[in-house]
Amino acid sequence: MSGVFERATALSRIDAIETALKRLLAALESRNAPARGIESALVTLEKLPFDPQSTIESFQGAPQDQMEFVKRRLERLAALDAVVRAECERMLATTTLAIERTRVLKDGLDALASGNGAGDSVDCTR
């Protein structure tokens, strides 16, 4: 009976991780994704420890159809993980570019505010 419990626990963990990955992906893909939503999804995912090797071991001796089922689930989880990682890389690149553009804009605004760049300062209050 212990093997059945271990298998059920492993499948439940796969379900939870898959749900958490989908939630993170949805937060990343959202046009208006606040950092809190992404952070919350990441925290949820971090709380779900996962060891694929122990999952596979818990299915040792199980009927072949169960072995195939868990193999497909693990493959699907790996594919979803790859999609989430790619989206994270895309978001990182986009964010890095936006930060650099903001830095350049701020430097330009600082130069205007100091009045040291082009001679006389400009009065924009009129």
Q: Do the beta carbons of residue 7 and residue 59 sit within 8 Å?
A: yes
Q: Do the beta carbons of residue 66 and residue 6 sit within 8 Å?
A: no
Identify whether 101 is part of a domain.
no
**Could you tell me the pTM of the whole model?**
0.73
Residues 69, 115: Cα–Cα separation, whole Å: 69
**Helix/strand/coil (H, E, C) string of 9-31?**
HHHHHHHHHHHHHHHHHHHHHCC
Identify whether 68 is part of a domain.
yes
Read off the pLDDT of residues 12-22 as tens digits, 9 standing for 90 and up: 999 999 999 99
Identify whether 50 is part of a domain.
yes
The answer, yes or no, to whether residue 51 has pLDDT greater than 90, is: no
Question: What pLDDT sits at residue 124?
Answer: 61
- Count up the domains in the chain and report the number: 1
